[in-house]
Chain A
């Protein structure tokens, strides 16, 4: 099981961030390095990459506020 973690150091802690879209559904198979979600901070989008290959479990839904270091999903 590998955590999908929101990367740190990309935006200020005072800025609001949220996953704007998951590009895969719960249980989908993903490949390491694939863009699995998009994080939106103001008008910048950040691509979230799969840290491993396997089945995606989504822990945080789109539009829910997130912060650096949060675990937003897992890959089994």
Chain B
């Protein structure tokens, strides 16, 4: 809990962390993005939130033939599946993870999405370093939802990131978000993701040891002393 508070305060002082309730917490990202877009002005807002245990997958995967079967089986294992609009593949949510969502709007055509994505990831890494966690960005072999803008500590993934670009009435809105492992059983999370994606018919060979929580890093550091 101290880690959550310290990180939340470093990311967005005074914003607070919303406790999420599954699908509604995920849908709130689009509500916030649309609200920001409706203002039709340049702006930025940040939301910090946690969520109940669930898997969050993409619209692409939700249209696969075996989706209903895979989602039902996952729910029966204690991991209900919800769908998000941003890119990537399946991720896990649960208590012990901090979700960071940033909503930014600008005139359509004025936003460089790759730069924005990179800047978001660098900001997360920089913020983690500000509280003593030696974070960087990069792809990690064997990690789930892999990408070059992962947040990485000691060669292991501590957070995944993804983006959505939505355009309305000449304005562009970008949702950039991350899910950061603070503590808990990562192997269990990865197994739930692999089980779900394999039932979809995908090759899912993610490895727990390619990931790390902030708590894992802290405990490792203490043991080395």
B-binding residues in A (CB < 8 A)? 9-12, 15, 20-21, 23, 38, 40-47, 49, 62
- Collect the chain A residues with CB atoms within 8 Å of residue B163's CB: 43-45
User: Are A45 and B86 within 8 A (Cβ)?
Assistant: yes
User: Are A43 and B167 within 8 A (Cβ)?
Assistant: no
The 8 A CB mask of B80-94 against A (1 = contact, 0 = none) is 000001111000000
Contact check: which of A10, A12, A21, A44 meets B60 at CB < 8 Å?
A21
User: Are A44 and B109 within 8 A (Cβ)?
Assistant: no
- Collect the chain B residues with CB atoms within 8 Å of residue A23's CB: 59
Q: At the interface, yes or no: B54 with Cβ under 8 Å from chain A? A: no
CB distance from B7 to the nearest CB of A (A): 22
User: Are A44 and B164 within 8 A (Cβ)?
Assistant: yes
* With A9-B109, A10-B165, A40-B87 as contacts: A45 and B114 at CB distance below 8 Å: no
- Collect the chain B residues with CB atoms within 8 Å of residue A45's CB: 58-59, 85-87, 162-165
- Collect the chain A residues with CB atoms within 8 Å of residue B63's CB: 21
Q: What are the 8 A-B residue pairs with the smallest beta carbon separation, nearest first? A: A20-B60, A44-B163, A43-B87, A45-B87, A43-B88, A43-B147, A43-B162, A44-B87
Q: In this complex, what residue of A is CB-closest to B117? A: A44
- Collect the chain A residues with CB atoms within 8 Å of residue B109's CB: 9
* A to B CB contacts below 8 Å, 25 in the list: A9-B109, A10-B113, A11-B113, A12-B114, A20-B58, A20-B60, A21-B60, A21-B63, A38-B59, A40-B87, A42-B114, A42-B148, A43-B86, A43-B87, A43-B88, A43-B145, A44-B87, A44-B113, A44-B114, A44-B165, A45-B87, A45-B162, A45-B164, A46-B164, A62-B60
- Collect the chain A residues with CB atoms within 8 Å of residue B113's CB: 10-11, 41, 44, 46
Give the CA-CA distance A20 to B149 in the complex, in Å.
Answer: 20
- Collect the chain B residues with CB atoms within 8 Å of residue A12's CB: 114
- B100-121 interface with A by 8 A CB criterion: 109, 113-114, 117
* With A12-B114, A45-B85, A45-B87 as contacts: A38 and B60 at CB distance below 8 Å: yes
Q: At the interface, yes or no: B207 with Cβ under 8 Å from chain A? A: no
Give the CA-CA distance A44 to B86 in the complex, in Å.
Answer: 6
User: Are A46 and B149 within 8 A (Cβ)?
Assistant: no
Give the CA-CA distance A21 to B58 in the complex, in Å.
Answer: 10
Q: In this complex, what residue of B is CB-closest to A37? A: B59
The 8 A CB mask of B15-36 against A (1 = contact, 0 = none) is 0000000000000000000000
User: Are B114 and A47 within 8 A (Cβ)?
Assistant: no
CB distance from B86 to the nearest CB of A (A): 6
User: Are A43 and B59 within 8 A (Cβ)?
Assistant: no
CB distance from A58 to the nearest CB of B (A): 14
Q: At the interface, yes or no: B166 with Cβ under 8 Å from chain A? A: yes
Q: In this complex, what residue of B is CB-closest to A10? A: B113
Q: At the interface, yes or no: B74 with Cβ under 8 Å from chain A? A: no
Q: At the interface, yes or no: B51 with Cβ under 8 Å from chain A? A: no
